Structure 1
Amino acid sequence: MNKILHSLLIIILVVLALAGGFVGGVYFTKQQYLKSLLNSSVIASIFAYGEVVNISGNVITLRYNGEELKIPIKDGALIYAYVADDSGEFIQQEVGLGQIKRGDRLNVDISVLPAGDLQGESITILPPAGVR
């Protein structure tokens, strides 16, 4: 009787190990596919939107609806801001990374690198809320 229970336990453990390997393999394959898909040249860009909560070097942290995302910005990224001209109209101007400050609302054009990391390609600093 003890031998039967022992054999049954081994069979159950083998089945569980195979099932776990199958589920893990499917998950890993799906993650790899998504990473390669987002890295595809067919997908021209992905945008992130949010309020700047932190800037550390070239890494900007955005928050939107309680979620945060850290985005490393590539060297030479184009950065535009809407700046009021003499008549009070907002026009788009190219600015430097140093112009971005906490509390700014940004649209960041991001790409997914082959390793799956994000990289900011360009940034638009949006005008204050309620301004058109």
Structure 2
Amino acid sequence: MSAALRQPMFHLQPDHFLETTDGQNWLTGAVDDLIEDTLYIDSTRVVDQVSQLEDKIATHVTDKYNEGHDYDGALGQVLRNVLAGDIDKANAALRLLITKDEVLAMAEELVRQLAQVYADSLEDDHE
């Protein structure tokens, strides 16, 4: 768990957590944690947003494929290389279909919805 997730936020006004420096630091760490499937809020692993992120990524890749943007057969390369155990080549092929920035943006959209829940859990811990 990132250090930003352990820093207390006392006396926050509702829905203003992300406007604080600590909120922005939490957001950055939480986005990475969501992508890595290691995000916890109030000692509970976040699973719904992980599933939603996986769906968004899959939809994005299949949409690009269906729109004819499968550069050099990238999707087939991903699958073949995963089956062959060559994760580095699979990763390179996947980057032709989706960028890390696109995944980060998808994850941030999902994590923003959890920010106030996280801030409220900190308040509950210190009341």
Q: TM-score, normalised by structure 1?
A: 0.26
The structure with higher relative contact order (CA 8 Å, sep 6+) is 2
Q: 1 or 2, which has the higher strand percentage? A: 1
Q: 1 or 2, which has the higher helix percentage? A: 2
Q: TM-score, normalised by structure 2?
A: 0.27
Question: Which one has the largest radius of gyration?
Answer: 1
